[in-house]
Chain A
Amino acid sequence: MRGKSWNARDGQLALLDAMVFFAIAMLVTNVCSSYFGQTSASGLDSPGIGRCDPGMILGVFLEASLGRSIVIPSSPEAELDAKDQVSDCLLVEMECIENGGDSLVFASLNQLFLGILLEICPPGMSPLLVSYSVARLIDQPVLIVSDPTWTTYERMDVRAASATMSSSEQHVYLVVLKLAPATLPELIDI
C-alpha cells in the first residue's frame, strides 16, 4: 500500500517534469522564431544599401539645380534660374533671413526644396531640412523645410547628416538633413 502510494506520486512528478520541459521548449521556439522573423524581414522589401544614407542625399541635393525658374516676391523681385544650384539659393535665403528679411517671401522656394527632397528620399521616409547660423544660438534655426508628415515629438529612429556652408559675408551656416520613417497622416494629430 505504501509502495503504490509512492508510485503514484512519481507518476505525477514525471508528468509535471514533462510539462515543464514542453513549456520551456515552446518558449525557446517562440523566442527563436520571433528573433529570426525580425532579422529575415530585410530582402526584396529593403530599399537597398545606401538608399537611406542622409549624407549622400544631402550631398546630391545641395549640388543639384533648382530645375525650374522661380520668382521671389521680395522688393525688388528676384528671379532664380533653373540652372541655379540649390546650395546657392539656400545660402541667399539664409543670408536674407539672417539680415532681417521676411521669411514668407521664400515660401515657394522652400516648397521647391521640399519637392526635390521628396523626389530623392526613399519611399516611406520623411525629410526635414534645418539650417542654423553657427554664430548664433544653435537652438534657433534660420530655416526649416519639413514634410507635413514630420512629427515634432522626440524620435529615436532619425538618421541625420550635416554640411557647413559659408557666405561671402563670412557667415557660416550648418545645414542638417534628418530622415525618419513617415508617420501616417491620421496619427499626426494624436
Chain B
Amino acid sequence: MRIDDSGVGGFFEDLPVMLFVLAGISSLIMTGVFASEEISRARENEELSFIAVHMVDGLVSHCRPVDGGLPTLGHIRQLNTTDICRSLASGRHFAAAMIMHHPGYELLCQGSDSVRGPACDAGSATRLLNALDENGVIAIVEARVVAW
C-alpha cells in the first residue's frame, strides 16, 4: 500500500492554478456575452438609422412641390410631420422636426408619435434643403428625424 502524500500537497498546489483558469474562463465568457450584445445593438442601430433615412427622405419629398421648384416656408410650416413619418416608420417610434437655420433660426414644424424620447438605441438622419420665404429670400432648412 502506498501513501499518497503527494496527492494532498498537489491539491493545495492546484488551488491557484484552478483560480487562474476559472478567472480566465469567466473573463472570456463575459467578453463573449458583451461582444454579442454589442453586435446585436449595432445591428439594431443600423436598422434604426436606415429607417430614419427613409423617413427623412419621405419628409423632404413631401416638402418639394410637384413642379420641381423650391418649397416655400409656408408649405413646410403646414406639413403634418407626424402622419408622414408614421406611414414610413415601420412600427418604430420617431420624432421629426423641420428647422430653419438661415436667415434666422426657427422651428417650422415638429411631430412625434410618443411622449417619451429614446432611452438608449436610436438612429437619426438629416437633410438640408433650400426653401423660399415670403419675401423671396432663399432660406436653409434642416429636416431631422430620430427613430427608436
Binding site for B on A (CB under 8 A): 3-4, 7, 11, 14-15, 17-19, 21-22, 24-26, 28-29, 32-33, 36, 39-40, 42-44, 46-51, 56-57, 59-61, 63-65, 67-68, 82-83, 85, 116, 119-120
**Would you call A49 and B140 a contact (CB within 8 A)?**
no
Q: What's the minimum C-beta distance from B57 to chain A, rounded to whole angstroms?
A: 10
Q: Mark B93-114, 1 if CB is under 8 A from A, else 0.
A: 0000000011111000000000
Which 9 A-B residue pairs are closest in the complex by CB-CB distance?
A67-B103, A25-B24, A48-B124, A18-B20, A36-B38, A11-B13, A22-B24, A51-B126, A65-B138
**Would you call A48 and B125 a contact (CB within 8 A)?**
yes
Q: What's the minimum C-beta distance from B35 to chain A, rounded to whole angstroms?
A: 5
Given A4-B6, A44-B122: A119 and B20 interface contact (C-beta under 8 Å): no
**Would you call B140 and A61 a contact (CB within 8 A)?**
yes
Give the size category of B's interface with A. 35 or more
Question: Residue of B at shortest CB range from A82?
Answer: B137
**Would you call B20 and A64 a contact (CB within 8 A)?**
no
For residue B81, which residues in chain A have a CB less than 8 angstroms away from its CB?
none
Q: How far is the CA of A7 from the CA of B8 in the complex (A)?
A: 12
**Would you call B138 and A64 a contact (CB within 8 A)?**
yes
**Would you call B53 and A43 a contact (CB within 8 A)?**
no
Q: What's the minimum C-beta distance from A65 to chain B, rounded to whole angstroms?
A: 4
**Would you call A15 and B20 a contact (CB within 8 A)?**
yes
Given A7-B6, A47-B126, A120-B102: A21 and B138 interface contact (C-beta under 8 Å): no
**Would you call B102 and A18 a contact (CB within 8 A)?**
no
**Would you call B126 and A29 a contact (CB within 8 A)?**
no
Q: How far is the CA of A25 from the CA of B24 in the complex (A)?
A: 5
**Would you call A33 and B34 a contact (CB within 8 A)?**
yes
Of B71-79, B83-91, B128-136, the one contacting chain A is: B128-136
23 contacts between A and B (CB under 8 A): A11-B13, A11-B14, A22-B20, A28-B31, A32-B34, A39-B42, A40-B38, A40-B41, A43-B122, A44-B122, A44-B124, A46-B124, A49-B53, A49-B124, A50-B126, A57-B128, A59-B128, A64-B138, A68-B103, A82-B137, A83-B135, A83-B138, A120-B128
For residue A14, which residues in chain B have a CB less than 8 angstroms away from its CB?
13-14, 17
Identify which of A19, A25, A39, A48 contacts B144 (C-beta below 8 A). Answer: A48
Q: How far is the CA of A43 from the CA of B47 in the complex (A)?
A: 12
Q: What's the minimum C-beta distance from A109 to chain B, rounded to whole angstroms?
A: 15
Is B16 part of the contact surface with A, judged by Cβ < 8 Å?
yes
